[in-house]
Amino acid sequence: MDTIRIHNMSFYGYHGVDASERDLGGKFHVDVELGLDLRPAGESDELADTVDYKAVYDLVADVQRSNRFRLLEAFAHAVAEGILANFAIDQVTIRVRKASVPLGGLIDHTEVEITRTAS
């Protein structure tokens, strides 16, 4: 299986367990890894034989913008399900990071990683 990676898509969103997080918003970063056979695209050099990176970005942006998730797990799951439903891939791994999480101390970010496969 081959891999396409899109790293560190950055968004400002209104997700979090605390009401203040959902009201004030914060920065979120998303990585997507798509597992599929890239041989057809390598041989043809045609976009139709691979996954359109912009279409993936647009889907992630739409999921982020259209929802107010309490959990990073739910955010990542919704992105994974949307990608599996809209693109011909075998597997997807999603990482969602959130900066400035109110944990009572200084941290860089929290991160959730999930992997889902096509049925």
Instruction: Kindly give, in sequence order, each residue whose CB lies less than 8 Å from that of residue 107, ignoring residues fewer than 6 positions away.
Output: 101
The number of beta carbons lying within 10 Å of the beta carbon of residue 50 is 20
Rounded Cα distance, 94 and 35, in Å: 11
Of the candidates 80, 98, 105, 111, the residue annotated as catalytic is 98
98 among known catalytic residues: yes
Q: Which residues are catalytically annotated? A: 98
